[in-house]
Structure 1
Amino acid sequence: MGTQLHSFPCLHRIQTMYSEFSAKERKIADYILENPQRLVHSTINQVADQLLVADATVFRFCKRIGFSGFQALKIALAAEAARPGKNMDEAVKDTDNEKAVAIKVFESNIQTLQDTIHTLNQKHLHEAVEWICRAKHIVFYGCGSASVIALDALEKFLQTDLAVTAYTDPHLQLLSAARCTKEDVAVFISHAGADKEMLKLLQAVQKTGAKTIAITQFAKSPLSQKADVPLFTVSQEADFRFSSFSARIVQLSLIDTLYVNVMLRYKDTNEEILQKGKETYTV
Protein backbone atom coordinates (compact mmCIF):
# COMPACT_ATOMS: atom_id res chain seq x y z
CA MET A 1 0.00 0.00 0.00
CA GLY A 2 1.28 3.47 -0.88
CA THR A 3 2.51 5.79 1.83
CA GLN A 4 -0.34 8.22 1.12
CA LEU A 5 -3.05 5.64 1.77
CA HIS A 6 -1.05 4.24 4.71
CA SER A 7 -1.60 7.52 6.57
CA PHE A 8 -5.39 7.32 6.24
CA PRO A 9 -7.62 6.34 9.18
CA CYS A 10 -8.37 2.61 9.26
CA LEU A 11 -12.02 2.76 8.20
CA HIS A 12 -11.20 5.13 5.37
CA ARG A 13 -8.49 2.77 4.12
CA ILE A 14 -11.05 -0.03 3.94
CA GLN A 15 -13.57 2.15 2.10
CA THR A 16 -10.92 3.36 -0.32
CA MET A 17 -9.70 -0.14 -1.18
CA TYR A 18 -13.10 -1.87 -1.08
CA SER A 19 -13.52 -2.21 -4.85
CA GLU A 20 -10.22 -4.13 -5.04
CA PHE A 21 -11.08 -6.70 -2.38
CA SER A 22 -11.87 -10.34 -3.09
CA ALA A 23 -15.19 -11.83 -1.95
CA LYS A 24 -13.65 -13.07 1.32
CA GLU A 25 -11.91 -9.75 1.93
CA ARG A 26 -15.21 -7.93 1.44
CA LYS A 27 -16.83 -10.14 4.08
CA ILE A 28 -14.16 -9.02 6.53
CA ALA A 29 -14.41 -5.39 5.39
CA ASP A 30 -18.20 -5.38 5.83
CA TYR A 31 -17.84 -6.93 9.28
CA ILE A 32 -15.50 -4.12 10.36
CA LEU A 33 -17.38 -1.24 8.72
CA GLU A 34 -20.74 -2.31 10.17
CA ASN A 35 -19.47 -2.40 13.75
CA PRO A 36 -15.80 -1.52 14.37
CA GLN A 37 -16.15 -1.90 18.14
CA ARG A 38 -17.23 -5.52 17.72
CA LEU A 39 -13.84 -6.32 16.21
CA VAL A 40 -11.97 -4.42 18.92
CA HIS A 41 -13.40 -6.80 21.52
CA SER A 42 -12.90 -9.98 19.48
CA THR A 43 -10.02 -12.37 18.88
CA ILE A 44 -8.85 -13.28 15.41
CA ASN A 45 -10.29 -16.78 15.94
CA GLN A 46 -13.71 -15.39 16.85
CA VAL A 47 -13.82 -13.17 13.76
CA ALA A 48 -12.69 -15.99 11.48
CA ASP A 49 -15.24 -18.43 12.94
CA GLN A 50 -18.10 -15.95 12.61
CA LEU A 51 -17.25 -15.18 8.98
CA LEU A 52 -16.45 -18.81 8.10
CA VAL A 53 -12.96 -17.97 6.89
CA ALA A 54 -9.51 -19.08 8.00
CA ASP A 55 -7.53 -17.18 10.64
CA ALA A 56 -4.86 -16.67 7.98
CA THR A 57 -7.41 -14.92 5.73
CA VAL A 58 -8.16 -12.37 8.45
CA PHE A 59 -4.44 -11.89 9.09
CA ARG A 60 -3.73 -11.33 5.39
CA PHE A 61 -6.54 -8.78 5.27
CA CYS A 62 -4.89 -6.83 8.09
CA LYS A 63 -1.62 -6.84 6.14
CA ARG A 64 -3.44 -5.85 2.96
CA ILE A 65 -4.71 -2.62 4.50
CA GLY A 66 -1.34 -1.71 5.95
CA PHE A 67 -1.19 -3.20 9.45
CA SER A 68 1.40 -5.60 10.84
CA GLY A 69 -1.33 -7.92 12.08
CA PHE A 70 -4.71 -8.30 13.78
CA GLN A 71 -3.60 -6.71 17.05
CA ALA A 72 -2.32 -3.60 15.26
CA LEU A 73 -5.66 -3.27 13.47
CA LYS A 74 -7.54 -3.51 16.78
CA ILE A 75 -5.36 -0.82 18.35
CA ALA A 76 -5.96 1.51 15.40
CA LEU A 77 -9.72 1.00 15.53
CA ALA A 78 -9.80 1.57 19.29
CA ALA A 79 -7.82 4.80 18.89
CA GLU A 80 -10.17 6.06 16.20
CA ALA A 81 -13.20 5.24 18.33
CA ALA A 82 -11.73 7.27 21.21
CA ARG A 83 -11.69 10.46 19.15
CA PRO A 84 -14.33 13.08 20.06
CA GLY A 85 -15.76 13.20 16.52
CA LYS A 86 -17.81 10.20 15.42
CA ASN A 87 -19.24 8.92 12.18
CA MET A 88 -22.53 10.79 11.88
CA ASP A 89 -24.34 7.81 10.42
CA GLU A 90 -23.67 5.88 13.63
CA ALA A 91 -24.20 8.81 15.99
CA VAL A 92 -27.52 10.36 14.88
CA LYS A 93 -30.57 8.70 16.41
CA ASP A 94 -34.29 9.16 15.82
CA THR A 95 -34.65 10.14 19.47
CA ASP A 96 -32.10 12.99 19.30
CA ASN A 97 -33.42 16.52 19.73
CA GLU A 98 -32.42 19.33 17.39
CA LYS A 99 -29.44 20.48 19.45
CA ALA A 100 -28.10 16.93 19.75
CA VAL A 101 -28.29 16.51 15.97
CA ALA A 102 -26.50 19.85 15.50
CA ILE A 103 -23.69 18.78 17.82
CA LYS A 104 -23.21 15.50 15.96
CA VAL A 105 -23.26 17.18 12.54
CA PHE A 106 -20.61 19.66 13.68
CA GLU A 107 -18.50 16.93 15.29
CA SER A 108 -18.61 14.88 12.11
CA ASN A 109 -17.46 17.83 10.00
CA ILE A 110 -14.71 18.72 12.46
CA GLN A 111 -13.45 15.13 12.48
CA THR A 112 -13.41 15.03 8.68
CA LEU A 113 -11.35 18.22 8.53
CA GLN A 114 -8.91 16.89 11.12
CA ASP A 115 -8.51 13.57 9.30
CA THR A 116 -7.95 15.32 5.98
CA ILE A 117 -5.28 17.70 7.25
CA HIS A 118 -3.55 14.73 8.89
CA THR A 119 -3.30 12.91 5.54
CA LEU A 120 -2.67 15.96 3.32
CA ASN A 121 0.47 15.42 1.25
CA GLN A 122 2.77 18.47 1.51
CA LYS A 123 4.59 17.66 -1.73
CA HIS A 124 1.35 17.40 -3.69
CA LEU A 125 -0.04 20.57 -2.12
CA HIS A 126 3.16 22.48 -2.94
CA GLU A 127 3.06 21.29 -6.55
CA ALA A 128 -0.60 22.27 -6.90
CA VAL A 129 0.04 25.79 -5.59
CA GLU A 130 3.13 26.22 -7.78
CA TRP A 131 1.30 25.08 -10.90
CA ILE A 132 -1.67 27.34 -10.25
CA CYS A 133 0.56 30.35 -9.67
CA ARG A 134 2.45 29.76 -12.93
CA ALA A 135 -0.54 28.82 -15.08
CA LYS A 136 -1.63 30.92 -18.02
CA HIS A 137 -5.18 29.84 -17.33
CA ILE A 138 -6.85 27.78 -14.58
CA VAL A 139 -10.10 25.90 -15.10
CA PHE A 140 -12.17 24.20 -12.40
CA TYR A 141 -14.38 21.25 -13.30
CA GLY A 142 -17.14 19.82 -11.13
CA CYS A 143 -20.39 18.00 -11.77
CA GLY A 144 -23.32 17.00 -9.59
CA SER A 145 -22.75 17.94 -5.96
CA ALA A 146 -19.22 19.11 -6.84
CA SER A 147 -20.62 21.82 -9.14
CA VAL A 148 -21.03 24.26 -6.27
CA ILE A 149 -17.42 23.61 -5.21
CA ALA A 150 -16.15 24.50 -8.69
CA LEU A 151 -18.24 27.69 -8.70
CA ASP A 152 -16.99 28.60 -5.23
CA ALA A 153 -13.42 28.17 -6.53
CA LEU A 154 -14.22 30.47 -9.44
CA GLU A 155 -15.58 33.16 -7.13
CA LYS A 156 -12.47 33.03 -4.96
CA PHE A 157 -9.84 32.91 -7.69
CA LEU A 158 -11.49 35.78 -9.59
CA GLN A 159 -10.15 37.85 -6.69
CA THR A 160 -6.58 37.04 -7.77
CA ASP A 161 -4.48 38.17 -10.72
CA LEU A 162 -4.99 34.81 -12.44
CA ALA A 163 -7.12 33.95 -15.47
CA VAL A 164 -9.72 31.48 -14.24
CA THR A 165 -12.95 29.83 -15.39
CA ALA A 166 -15.21 27.04 -14.13
CA TYR A 167 -17.51 24.65 -15.95
CA THR A 168 -20.24 22.42 -14.52
CA ASP A 169 -22.11 21.46 -17.70
CA PRO A 170 -20.68 18.25 -19.26
CA HIS A 171 -20.99 19.54 -22.85
CA LEU A 172 -19.28 22.85 -22.07
CA GLN A 173 -16.62 21.00 -20.08
CA LEU A 174 -15.59 18.95 -23.13
CA LEU A 175 -15.63 22.02 -25.38
CA SER A 176 -13.40 23.89 -22.94
CA ALA A 177 -11.02 20.92 -22.64
CA ALA A 178 -10.15 21.23 -26.31
CA ARG A 179 -9.00 24.82 -25.69
CA CYS A 180 -6.54 23.92 -22.93
CA THR A 181 -2.80 24.24 -23.55
CA LYS A 182 0.33 22.92 -21.87
CA GLU A 183 0.53 26.24 -20.01
CA ASP A 184 -2.82 25.67 -18.30
CA VAL A 185 -3.93 23.86 -15.15
CA ALA A 186 -7.22 21.98 -14.78
CA VAL A 187 -8.64 21.15 -11.34
CA PHE A 188 -11.11 18.25 -11.18
CA ILE A 189 -13.44 18.00 -8.18
CA SER A 190 -15.18 14.67 -7.63
CA HIS A 191 -16.10 12.90 -4.38
CA ALA A 192 -15.82 9.33 -5.66
CA GLY A 193 -13.41 10.01 -8.53
CA ALA A 194 -15.02 7.35 -10.70
CA ASP A 195 -17.54 9.30 -12.81
CA LYS A 196 -17.19 8.25 -16.46
CA GLU A 197 -17.81 11.74 -17.82
CA MET A 198 -15.19 13.22 -15.52
CA LEU A 199 -12.64 10.58 -16.56
CA LYS A 200 -13.40 11.26 -20.22
CA LEU A 201 -12.87 14.96 -19.53
CA LEU A 202 -9.57 14.29 -17.76
CA GLN A 203 -8.34 12.31 -20.75
CA ALA A 204 -9.31 15.13 -23.12
CA VAL A 205 -7.49 17.73 -21.03
CA GLN A 206 -4.35 15.61 -20.70
CA LYS A 207 -4.15 15.26 -24.48
CA THR A 208 -3.51 19.01 -24.64
CA GLY A 209 -0.55 18.77 -22.24
CA ALA A 210 -2.26 20.78 -19.49
CA LYS A 211 -1.41 19.87 -15.90
CA THR A 212 -4.18 18.19 -13.92
CA ILE A 213 -5.09 18.29 -10.22
CA ALA A 214 -7.75 16.03 -8.68
CA ILE A 215 -9.64 16.72 -5.45
CA THR A 216 -11.28 13.44 -4.47
CA GLN A 217 -11.81 11.10 -1.54
CA PHE A 218 -10.49 7.80 -2.79
CA ALA A 219 -6.77 7.22 -3.25
CA LYS A 220 -7.43 4.21 -5.47
CA SER A 221 -10.04 5.92 -7.66
CA PRO A 222 -9.37 6.21 -11.42
CA LEU A 223 -9.37 10.01 -11.22
CA SER A 224 -6.79 10.22 -8.43
CA GLN A 225 -4.54 7.66 -10.10
CA LYS A 226 -4.63 9.30 -13.53
CA ALA A 227 -4.36 12.98 -12.51
CA ASP A 228 -0.89 14.52 -12.23
CA VAL A 229 -1.44 15.61 -8.62
CA PRO A 230 -4.14 14.18 -6.31
CA LEU A 231 -5.36 16.00 -3.20
CA PHE A 232 -7.35 13.65 -0.98
CA THR A 233 -10.27 14.34 1.31
CA VAL A 234 -11.35 12.05 4.14
CA SER A 235 -14.94 11.36 5.18
CA GLN A 236 -16.32 8.21 6.72
CA GLU A 237 -20.10 8.42 6.38
CA ALA A 238 -21.59 5.29 4.86
CA ASP A 239 -25.28 6.27 4.91
CA PHE A 240 -26.63 7.96 1.77
CA ARG A 241 -28.41 10.57 3.89
CA PHE A 242 -25.16 12.07 5.11
CA SER A 243 -22.51 10.98 2.60
CA SER A 244 -22.00 14.41 1.03
CA PHE A 245 -22.14 16.57 4.16
CA SER A 246 -18.58 16.49 5.42
CA ALA A 247 -17.20 15.77 1.94
CA ARG A 248 -18.50 19.15 0.78
CA ILE A 249 -17.03 20.94 3.80
CA VAL A 250 -13.56 19.49 3.29
CA GLN A 251 -13.61 20.11 -0.48
CA LEU A 252 -14.39 23.76 0.17
CA SER A 253 -11.58 23.87 2.72
CA LEU A 254 -9.07 22.50 0.19
CA ILE A 255 -10.16 25.18 -2.30
CA ASP A 256 -9.69 27.77 0.46
CA THR A 257 -6.22 26.35 1.15
CA LEU A 258 -5.18 26.70 -2.49
CA TYR A 259 -6.64 30.21 -2.66
CA VAL A 260 -4.93 31.51 0.49
CA ASN A 261 -1.58 30.07 -0.61
CA VAL A 262 -1.90 31.77 -3.99
CA MET A 263 -2.90 35.06 -2.34
CA LEU A 264 0.21 34.93 -0.15
CA ARG A 265 2.49 34.37 -3.16
CA TYR A 266 1.39 37.59 -4.81
CA LYS A 267 0.15 39.55 -1.84
CA ASP A 268 0.56 43.10 -3.19
CA THR A 269 -0.98 42.43 -6.60
CA ASN A 270 -3.86 40.42 -5.22
CA GLU A 271 -4.66 42.94 -2.49
CA GLU A 272 -4.98 45.61 -5.19
CA ILE A 273 -7.44 43.40 -7.09
CA LEU A 274 -9.39 42.73 -3.89
CA GLN A 275 -9.66 46.46 -3.26
CA LYS A 276 -10.93 47.09 -6.79
CA GLY A 277 -13.52 44.38 -6.25
CA LYS A 278 -14.72 46.02 -3.04
CA GLU A 279 -14.98 49.37 -4.82
CA THR A 280 -17.06 47.76 -7.56
CA TYR A 281 -19.50 46.33 -5.02
CA THR A 282 -19.93 49.70 -3.30
CA VAL A 283 -20.70 51.64 -6.50
Structure 2
Amino acid sequence: MSETPAEPSTVGARLRALRPMLTPLENRILDVAFEEGFEETTPLTYVAEQAGVSEAMVVKTAKKFGFAGFRDFREQVSAYNAQPSAALHKEIGPEDNQADIMRKVFNTAIQALHETLAIIDLETFAKVVDAISAAPRRDLYGIGGSAQIARDVSHKFLRIGLRSTVYDDAHMMLMSASLLEPGDIAIAFSHSGRTSAVIDGMREARRRGATTIAVSNYAHSPLVDAVDLVLCSTARGSPLLGENAAARVAQLTVMDAVFAAIAAKAYDIAERNLERTTAAVAAKRER
Protein backbone atom coordinates (compact mmCIF):
# COMPACT_ATOMS: atom_id res chain seq x y z
CA MET A 1 0.00 0.00 0.00
CA SER A 2 1.41 3.36 -1.00
CA GLU A 3 1.46 6.49 1.10
CA THR A 4 -0.99 8.14 -1.30
CA PRO A 5 -4.65 7.64 -0.36
CA ALA A 6 -6.03 4.39 -1.75
CA GLU A 7 -9.56 3.79 -2.99
CA PRO A 8 -11.43 3.43 0.34
CA SER A 9 -13.14 0.18 -0.63
CA THR A 10 -9.76 -1.51 -1.21
CA VAL A 11 -8.09 -0.54 2.07
CA GLY A 12 -9.71 -3.21 4.23
CA ALA A 13 -9.02 -5.93 1.67
CA ARG A 14 -5.36 -5.00 1.33
CA LEU A 15 -4.85 -4.91 5.08
CA ARG A 16 -6.59 -8.25 5.61
CA ALA A 17 -4.31 -9.76 2.97
CA LEU A 18 -1.34 -8.92 5.22
CA ARG A 19 -2.68 -10.79 8.27
CA PRO A 20 -0.81 -14.08 7.76
CA MET A 21 2.48 -12.15 7.73
CA LEU A 22 1.77 -10.14 10.88
CA THR A 23 2.65 -10.87 14.50
CA PRO A 24 -0.17 -11.39 17.04
CA LEU A 25 0.38 -7.87 18.38
CA GLU A 26 0.24 -6.33 14.92
CA ASN A 27 -2.97 -8.23 14.22
CA ARG A 28 -4.44 -6.83 17.43
CA ILE A 29 -3.76 -3.31 16.19
CA LEU A 30 -5.68 -4.15 13.01
CA ASP A 31 -8.52 -5.60 15.10
CA VAL A 32 -8.85 -2.29 16.94
CA ALA A 33 -8.78 -0.32 13.69
CA PHE A 34 -11.60 -2.42 12.21
CA GLU A 35 -13.79 -2.06 15.30
CA GLU A 36 -16.96 0.02 15.13
CA GLY A 37 -16.18 3.54 16.30
CA PHE A 38 -12.63 3.79 14.90
CA GLU A 39 -12.64 7.16 13.14
CA GLU A 40 -10.47 10.13 12.16
CA THR A 41 -10.52 11.50 15.72
CA THR A 42 -9.56 8.24 17.46
CA PRO A 43 -6.46 9.00 19.58
CA LEU A 44 -3.22 7.11 19.26
CA THR A 45 -3.36 6.42 23.01
CA TYR A 46 -6.73 4.65 22.63
CA VAL A 47 -5.43 2.31 19.93
CA ALA A 48 -2.33 1.48 21.97
CA GLU A 49 -4.37 0.78 25.12
CA GLN A 50 -6.95 -1.38 23.35
CA ALA A 51 -4.29 -3.40 21.53
CA GLY A 52 -2.10 -3.70 24.63
CA VAL A 53 0.97 -2.22 22.94
CA SER A 54 3.02 0.94 23.13
CA GLU A 55 2.20 4.06 21.12
CA ALA A 56 5.55 3.72 19.38
CA MET A 57 4.61 0.25 18.20
CA VAL A 58 1.31 1.50 16.76
CA VAL A 59 3.19 4.12 14.73
CA LYS A 60 5.81 1.59 13.63
CA THR A 61 3.13 -0.91 12.63
CA ALA A 62 1.21 1.72 10.64
CA LYS A 63 4.38 2.35 8.63
CA LYS A 64 4.89 -1.39 8.18
CA PHE A 65 1.39 -1.49 6.68
CA GLY A 66 2.60 1.03 4.10
CA PHE A 67 1.16 4.24 5.54
CA ALA A 68 3.10 7.44 6.16
CA GLY A 69 2.36 7.17 9.88
CA PHE A 70 -0.48 6.81 12.37
CA ARG A 71 -2.46 9.79 11.05
CA ASP A 72 -2.36 8.47 7.49
CA PHE A 73 -3.33 5.00 8.75
CA ARG A 74 -6.21 6.44 10.81
CA GLU A 75 -7.46 8.60 7.94
CA GLN A 76 -7.51 5.82 5.35
CA VAL A 77 -8.89 3.09 7.62
CA SER A 78 -11.62 5.38 8.99
CA ALA A 79 -12.56 6.25 5.39
CA TYR A 80 -12.81 2.52 4.68
CA ASN A 81 -14.89 1.94 7.82
CA ALA A 82 -17.30 4.63 6.64
CA GLN A 83 -17.97 2.78 3.38
CA PRO A 84 -21.42 1.18 3.12
CA SER A 85 -19.83 -2.18 2.29
CA ALA A 86 -17.68 -2.11 5.43
CA ALA A 87 -20.72 -1.35 7.56
CA LEU A 88 -22.42 -4.51 6.28
CA HIS A 89 -20.26 -6.79 8.40
CA LYS A 90 -21.58 -7.52 11.87
CA GLU A 91 -20.48 -10.26 14.22
CA ILE A 92 -22.97 -13.04 14.98
CA GLY A 93 -23.76 -13.30 18.69
CA PRO A 94 -25.80 -15.61 20.95
CA GLU A 95 -28.42 -12.89 21.36
CA ASP A 96 -29.19 -12.84 17.62
CA ASN A 97 -32.48 -14.29 16.42
CA GLN A 98 -32.71 -16.27 13.19
CA ALA A 99 -33.61 -13.21 11.13
CA ASP A 100 -30.54 -11.38 12.48
CA ILE A 101 -28.30 -14.34 11.70
CA MET A 102 -29.59 -14.63 8.13
CA ARG A 103 -29.14 -10.90 7.54
CA LYS A 104 -25.59 -10.90 8.94
CA VAL A 105 -24.51 -13.93 6.92
CA PHE A 106 -25.93 -12.42 3.71
CA ASN A 107 -24.38 -9.02 4.41
CA THR A 108 -20.96 -10.56 5.04
CA ALA A 109 -21.18 -12.30 1.66
CA ILE A 110 -22.29 -9.07 -0.03
CA GLN A 111 -19.34 -7.25 1.50
CA ALA A 112 -16.96 -9.94 0.25
CA LEU A 113 -18.34 -9.62 -3.29
CA HIS A 114 -18.17 -5.82 -3.28
CA GLU A 115 -14.59 -5.66 -2.01
CA THR A 116 -13.36 -8.56 -4.16
CA LEU A 117 -14.61 -6.69 -7.24
CA ALA A 118 -12.69 -3.60 -6.04
CA ILE A 119 -9.35 -5.43 -5.80
CA ILE A 120 -9.48 -7.71 -8.84
CA ASP A 121 -6.70 -6.84 -11.29
CA LEU A 122 -8.37 -6.68 -14.71
CA GLU A 123 -5.12 -7.27 -16.60
CA THR A 124 -4.53 -10.48 -14.66
CA PHE A 125 -8.16 -11.47 -15.15
CA ALA A 126 -7.76 -11.09 -18.92
CA LYS A 127 -4.58 -13.21 -18.90
CA VAL A 128 -6.36 -15.95 -16.95
CA VAL A 129 -9.26 -15.95 -19.43
CA ASP A 130 -6.88 -16.17 -22.40
CA ALA A 131 -4.79 -18.95 -20.82
CA ILE A 132 -7.81 -21.10 -19.95
CA SER A 133 -9.40 -20.55 -23.37
CA ALA A 134 -6.28 -21.60 -25.26
CA ALA A 135 -5.10 -24.48 -23.05
CA PRO A 136 -5.29 -28.01 -24.45
CA ARG A 137 -5.32 -29.37 -20.89
CA ARG A 138 -6.75 -27.90 -17.68
CA ASP A 139 -6.02 -29.42 -14.25
CA LEU A 140 -7.75 -28.04 -11.17
CA TYR A 141 -6.38 -28.60 -7.65
CA GLY A 142 -8.03 -28.17 -4.26
CA ILE A 143 -8.38 -29.83 -0.86
CA GLY A 144 -11.49 -29.93 1.33
CA GLY A 145 -13.86 -27.02 0.72
CA SER A 146 -11.60 -25.66 -2.02
CA ALA A 147 -12.03 -28.92 -3.94
CA GLN A 148 -15.76 -28.22 -4.06
CA ILE A 149 -15.05 -24.87 -5.72
CA ALA A 150 -12.82 -26.65 -8.25
CA ARG A 151 -15.63 -29.12 -9.03
CA ASP A 152 -18.12 -26.31 -9.54
CA VAL A 153 -15.73 -24.58 -11.94
CA SER A 154 -15.06 -27.80 -13.83
CA HIS A 155 -18.81 -28.36 -14.19
CA LYS A 156 -19.32 -24.87 -15.63
CA PHE A 157 -16.43 -25.30 -18.06
CA LEU A 158 -17.84 -28.60 -19.33
CA ARG A 159 -21.20 -26.96 -20.08
CA ILE A 160 -19.52 -24.89 -22.82
CA GLY A 161 -17.19 -27.63 -24.02
CA LEU A 162 -14.04 -26.94 -21.99
CA ARG A 163 -12.80 -30.21 -20.55
CA SER A 164 -10.93 -30.12 -17.24
CA THR A 165 -9.97 -32.54 -14.48
CA VAL A 166 -10.23 -31.97 -10.72
CA TYR A 167 -7.67 -33.45 -8.35
CA ASP A 168 -8.12 -33.40 -4.57
CA ASP A 169 -5.43 -35.89 -3.54
CA ALA A 170 -1.81 -34.89 -2.92
CA HIS A 171 -0.29 -37.76 -4.90
CA MET A 172 -2.71 -37.36 -7.81
CA MET A 173 -1.93 -33.65 -8.00
CA LEU A 174 1.77 -34.34 -8.33
CA MET A 175 1.21 -37.09 -10.89
CA SER A 176 -1.04 -34.90 -13.04
CA ALA A 177 1.32 -31.94 -12.72
CA SER A 178 4.27 -34.02 -13.86
CA LEU A 179 2.48 -34.69 -17.17
CA LEU A 180 1.66 -31.06 -17.94
CA GLU A 181 3.46 -29.24 -20.73
CA PRO A 182 3.85 -25.64 -21.94
CA GLY A 183 0.45 -24.34 -22.99
CA ASP A 184 -1.39 -26.44 -20.40
CA ILE A 185 -2.74 -24.80 -17.25
CA ALA A 186 -3.07 -25.74 -13.59
CA ILE A 187 -5.48 -23.83 -11.36
CA ALA A 188 -5.14 -24.02 -7.58
CA PHE A 189 -7.93 -23.14 -5.18
CA SER A 190 -6.82 -22.44 -1.61
CA HIS A 191 -8.33 -19.98 0.82
CA SER A 192 -5.17 -19.67 2.94
CA GLY A 193 -2.63 -20.21 0.17
CA ARG A 194 -0.75 -22.46 2.57
CA THR A 195 -2.07 -25.95 1.77
CA SER A 196 1.12 -27.90 1.14
CA ALA A 197 -0.40 -30.52 -1.19
CA VAL A 198 -1.73 -27.82 -3.52
CA ILE A 199 1.49 -25.80 -3.38
CA ASP A 200 3.61 -28.87 -4.23
CA GLY A 201 1.38 -29.64 -7.20
CA MET A 202 1.63 -26.10 -8.53
CA ARG A 203 5.40 -26.02 -8.15
CA GLU A 204 5.65 -29.22 -10.19
CA ALA A 205 3.26 -27.88 -12.84
CA ARG A 206 5.27 -24.69 -13.15
CA ARG A 207 8.51 -26.67 -13.38
CA ARG A 208 7.00 -28.55 -16.33
CA GLY A 209 6.24 -25.28 -18.12
CA ALA A 210 2.48 -25.10 -17.56
CA THR A 211 0.80 -21.77 -16.83
CA THR A 212 -0.11 -21.79 -13.15
CA ILE A 213 -3.05 -19.86 -11.66
CA ALA A 214 -4.07 -19.42 -8.02
CA VAL A 215 -7.45 -18.40 -6.62
CA SER A 216 -6.86 -17.43 -3.00
CA ASN A 217 -7.85 -15.03 -0.24
CA TYR A 218 -4.31 -13.84 0.44
CA ALA A 219 -1.96 -12.02 -1.91
CA HIS A 220 1.03 -12.92 0.27
CA SER A 221 1.41 -16.67 0.70
CA PRO A 222 3.59 -19.61 -0.39
CA LEU A 223 1.01 -20.52 -3.05
CA VAL A 224 1.12 -17.04 -4.60
CA ASP A 225 4.91 -17.29 -4.77
CA ALA A 226 4.56 -20.60 -6.65
CA VAL A 227 2.30 -19.46 -9.51
CA ASP A 228 2.25 -17.18 -12.53
CA LEU A 229 -1.16 -15.53 -12.11
CA VAL A 230 -3.28 -14.79 -9.04
CA LEU A 231 -6.96 -13.94 -8.66
CA CYS A 232 -7.57 -12.74 -5.12
CA SER A 233 -10.81 -12.80 -3.20
CA THR A 234 -11.28 -11.01 0.10
CA ALA A 235 -13.58 -11.75 3.00
CA ARG A 236 -13.89 -10.49 6.53
CA GLY A 237 -14.14 -13.34 8.98
CA SER A 238 -16.08 -13.84 12.17
CA PRO A 239 -15.48 -16.20 15.11
CA LEU A 240 -18.39 -18.42 14.05
CA LEU A 241 -18.16 -18.41 10.25
CA GLY A 242 -14.46 -17.75 9.83
CA GLU A 243 -13.44 -16.24 6.49
CA ASN A 244 -14.02 -19.32 4.36
CA ALA A 245 -17.78 -19.03 4.02
CA ALA A 246 -17.85 -15.56 2.46
CA ALA A 247 -14.58 -16.14 0.58
CA ARG A 248 -16.10 -19.22 -1.05
CA VAL A 249 -18.96 -17.09 -2.40
CA ALA A 250 -16.47 -14.50 -3.70
CA GLN A 251 -14.23 -17.10 -5.35
CA LEU A 252 -17.17 -18.82 -7.04
CA THR A 253 -18.33 -15.45 -8.37
CA VAL A 254 -14.85 -14.59 -9.66
CA MET A 255 -14.77 -17.89 -11.53
CA ASP A 256 -18.30 -17.29 -12.82
CA ALA A 257 -16.93 -14.09 -14.35
CA VAL A 258 -14.01 -16.05 -15.86
CA PHE A 259 -16.49 -18.59 -17.27
CA ALA A 260 -18.66 -15.85 -18.80
CA ALA A 261 -15.65 -14.07 -20.32
CA ILE A 262 -14.40 -17.33 -21.87
CA ALA A 263 -17.85 -18.01 -23.33
CA ALA A 264 -17.99 -14.47 -24.75
CA LYS A 265 -14.66 -14.98 -26.57
CA ALA A 266 -16.16 -17.76 -28.69
CA TYR A 267 -19.85 -17.12 -28.21
CA ASP A 268 -21.17 -19.25 -31.10
CA ILE A 269 -19.17 -22.30 -30.02
CA ALA A 270 -20.07 -21.82 -26.35
CA GLU A 271 -23.76 -21.42 -27.21
CA ARG A 272 -23.77 -24.56 -29.36
CA ASN A 273 -22.02 -26.62 -26.67
CA LEU A 274 -24.31 -25.26 -23.98
CA GLU A 275 -27.34 -26.34 -26.01
CA ARG A 276 -25.87 -29.83 -26.49
CA THR A 277 -24.92 -30.36 -22.84
CA THR A 278 -28.26 -29.00 -21.64
CA ALA A 279 -30.16 -31.28 -24.00
CA ALA A 280 -28.08 -34.28 -22.91
CA VAL A 281 -29.31 -34.04 -19.30
CA ALA A 282 -32.82 -32.75 -20.00
CA ALA A 283 -34.28 -36.26 -19.92
CA LYS A 284 -33.05 -36.68 -16.35
CA ARG A 285 -35.41 -33.96 -15.10
CA GLU A 286 -38.83 -35.02 -13.91
CA ARG A 287 -41.80 -33.14 -15.26
TM-score range, shorter chain: 0.7 to 0.9
Match of 1:157 in 2: 157
1-side partners of 2:165 and 2:53: how far apart?
Answer: 54
Identical residues among aligned pairs (%): 25
CA distance in 2, matches of 1:146, 1:2: 32
SS of corresponding position for 1:141 = strand
Q: Structure 1 counterpart of 2:246, which letter? A: S
For the 8 Å contact 1:87–1:108, the answer to whether it is kept is no
Q: Which residue of 1 aligns with 2:251?
A: 251
1:39–1:47 Cα contact (<8 Å) kept:
no
Change (3 A) 1:49 1:191: closer
Deviation at 1:74, TM superposition (A): 2.1
Residue of structure 1 in register with 2:276 after alignment = 276
CA separation in 2, counterparts of 1:70 and 1:119?
A: 24
Please list every run of 5 or more consecutive structure 2 residues that lacks an aligned counterpart in the other structure. none
Alpha-carbon distance in 1 for matches of 2:179, 2:246: 34
Query: How far apart are the structure 1 equivalents of 2:256 and 2:131?
Result: 16
Contact 1:150–1:168 at 8 Å: present in 2 too?
no
Displacement of 1:193: 0.2
- Written as runs of structure 1 = structure 2, the 5 A alignment for 1:32-181 is 32=33, 35=35, 37-38=37-38, 42-48=42-48, 51-55=52-56, 57-85=57-85, 90-181=90-181
Compute the displacement of 1:161 (Å). 3.3
Letter in 1 for 2:183: E
For 1:114 and 1:79, the matched residues in 2 are separated by: 16
Structure 2 counterpart SS, 1:203: helix
Q: 1:275 to 1:23 in 2, by over 3 A?
A: closer
Q: 1:111 and 1:48 mapped to 2: Cα distance?
A: 28
Deviations along 1:235-262, whole A, 9 cap, x unmatched?
A: 0114253422101101111110110000
Could you state the TM-score of these two structures normalised by the residue count of structure 1?
0.88
Q: Is 133-142 or 236-245 further displaced after alignment? A: 236-245
| Alpha carbons 1:139, 1:185 under 8 Å: kept | yes
CA-to-partner distance for each residue in 1:168-211, whole Å, 9 max, x for gaps? 22222222112211120111000000111111111111111000
1:13/1:65 contact within 8 Å kept: no
* 2:194/2:222 contact within 8 Å kept: yes
Task: Indicate conservation of the 8 Å contact 1:137/1:185, yes or no.
Answer: yes
Q: Deviations over 1:103-132 (max 9, x none)?
A: 111111011000000000011101101111
TM value normalised by structure 2: 0.87
Give runs of aligned pairs for residues 196-207 of structure 1, distance below 5 A.
196-207=196-207
What runs of 5+ residues in structure 1 fail to find an aligned partner?
A: none
Moved more, 267-276 or 44-53: 44-53
Instruction: Give the corresponding residue for 2:212.
Output: 212
Cα deviation for residue 36 of structure 1 reads 5.5
